[in-house]
Amino acid sequence: MAVSSEQRAAALRLTLAAAGLVLGLSSAAVLPLLLPWSGQLVLVSLVLGLALAPFVSLFALRRLRAALAPVRVLPVALGVAGASALALVPLFALYRAELRVLNHGDAPFELSIDGRKLARVEPSSGESALAGVALVVPAGDHEFRVVSARDGGELFRARERIEGGHPHLFAPQSAGYCFSIERRGYGDAASELQSEPLDGANPFWVLPDGISWFSPNPEPGVLSTSGGTLSCLRQKRCDY
Rounded to an integer, what distance in angstroms lies between the CA atom of residue 188 and that of residue 162? 35
Q: What pLDDT is stored for residue 168 in this prediction?
A: 96
Helices and strands counted in the chain (H then E) = 4, 12
pLDDT at 92 over 60: yes
Mean pLDDT of 53-73: 67
Q: In what order do the strands lie in the sheet containing 154-162?
A: 116-121, 109-113, 140-148, 154-162
Residue of 108, 102, 17, 95 whose CA lies nearest to 54 = 17
Residue-wise pLDDT for 206-234, tens only, equals: 998 888 998 888 777 655 555 678 889 99
Instruction: Map 37-83 to HEC letters.
Output: CCCHHHHHHHHHHHHHHHHHHHCCCHHHHHHCCHHHHHHHHHHHHHH
> Do 32 and 96 touch, CB atoms closer than 8 A?
yes
Residue-wise pLDDT for 135-168, tens only, equals: 999 999 999 999 999 999 999 999 999 999 899 9
DSSP 152: -
Strand-pairing partners, residue 67, are none
Q: Go through the chain and tell me how many residues it has.
A: 240
Rounded to an integer, what distance in angstroms lies between the CA atom of residue 70 and that of residue 82? 18
Amino acid identity for residue 43 in this structure: L
